[in-house]
Amino acid sequence: MSQSVGFIGLGSMGQPMVRNLLKAGYHVKVYNRSESRASALVDVGAIAVSSPAEVVEVDGMVVTMVSNDAALEDVTLGAQGLLERLGSGGIHISMSTVSPDLAYKLAELHKQRGSSYIAAPVFGRPQSAAAAQLKICVAGSSIAKERTQPVLQALGQPFDFGEQPKQANVIKLCGNFMIISAIEAMGEALTLVEKNGMDRSAVMSLFTQTLFACPIYQTYGPLIAEQRFTPPGFQLQWGLKDINFFLDNASQVYAPLPLAHLVQNRLLSSVAKGRGESDLSRLTQAISEDAGLEVVP
């Protein structure tokens, strides 16, 4: 394997993803707004550059894994953005959780320049990224998707959802809504457990081994039971961003989703209280507080 891949975004997810591409034999050029984050990857073979455009090999592939819509627009369309240099055969693999509207906009702009935009948002926390076990929702041109398969398989398990890139982002938002709703449910159940004088961890251990023996409950259940909200695997403020996108899309297609508004308010309240940089599971702290329970700091 000697193919080059550009990679933009070296946060808690991007770091292990780049390492897996290097292990798979790719030459990887990396860019991050905070240059210091590239140093550890340079030590294991990555090449650090000073602008998004510099990660691009003409007609090659670039992966972006950035925090929000504004960041993705900046590295794609801004000064020294990747799009102008990508070339007519180039492929942009966008693995960030962004709005379906932005995915549609970027797909059209890539098409106008003869390049391809593949939406490939992921399910999984940093541990899953490190283990190359991300679940990847993929949508875009069939020809481009075929070229991206080896890259995506080095990062996790891709699932194909057709030709329209924005559809992958809708699916990602639906999954995140279901995760946040499960966290709300676990928080409410464990609050009732504690109010009745029972051990939160013991009860959650029962559930995660029996009725709810699945990754979301097994990942978040112990965090909620033990009130371990740092270090964050997925920041609470990002959950609010995703629920906002989810409800924006629901409004566009006239879909009333009352539960989504409930968890949106829970997240909004938590961010207002300065908890945005904590783990997503910290939204359950408010449930305990409402019940008059002391929360472990």
Residue spans per domain, the chain: 4-163, 169-290
pLDDT value of residue 219 = 95
Sequence-distant (6+) residues with CB within 8 A of 154 are 20, 21, 23, 24, 26, 132
Output the CATH code of domain 169-290: 1.10.1040.10
Is 145 in the active site? no
How far, in Å, CA of 275 to CA of 229, rounded?
Answer: 10
Count Cα neighbours of 292 within 13 Å in the Cβ-side half-sphere.
2
Q: Name the H helices within 139-278.
A: 142-153, 165-195, 200-209, 215-226, 236-252, 258-272
Q: Is 4 left (phi over 0), alpha (psi -120 to 50) or beta?
A: beta
**Cis before 231? omega within 30:** yes
pLDDT value of residue 58 = 87
> H or E stretch including 83?
helix 83-86
Going by the DSSP 8-state scheme, the letter that residue 279 receives in this structure is B
pLDDT value of residue 294 = 85
pLDDT value of residue 43 = 95
pLDDT value of residue 297 = 63
- Topology (CATH) of 4-163: Rossmann fold (3.40.50)
pLDDT tens over the chain, length 297 residues: 459 999 999 999 999 999 999 999 999 999 999 888 999 999 999 999 999 999 999 899 999 999 999 999 999 999 899 999 998 899 999 999 999 999 999 999 999 999 999 999 999 999 999 999 999 999 999 999 999 999 999 999 999 999 999 999 999 999 999 999 999 999 999 999 999 999 999 999 999 999 999 999 999 999 999 999 999 999 999 999 999 999 999 999 999 999 999 999 999 999 999 999 999 999 999 999 999 998 866
pLDDT tens per residue, range 94-118: 999 999 999 999 999 999 999 999 9
Q: Which of 111, 172, 195, 241 is catalytic?
A: 172
How far, in Å, CA of 148 to CA of 118, rounded?
Answer: 9
pTM over 0.85? The answer is yes
Q: Which two tokens stand for residue 263?
A: 């968890």
Q: Please, what is the Cα angle at 31 between 30 and 36, to 5 degrees?
A: 100
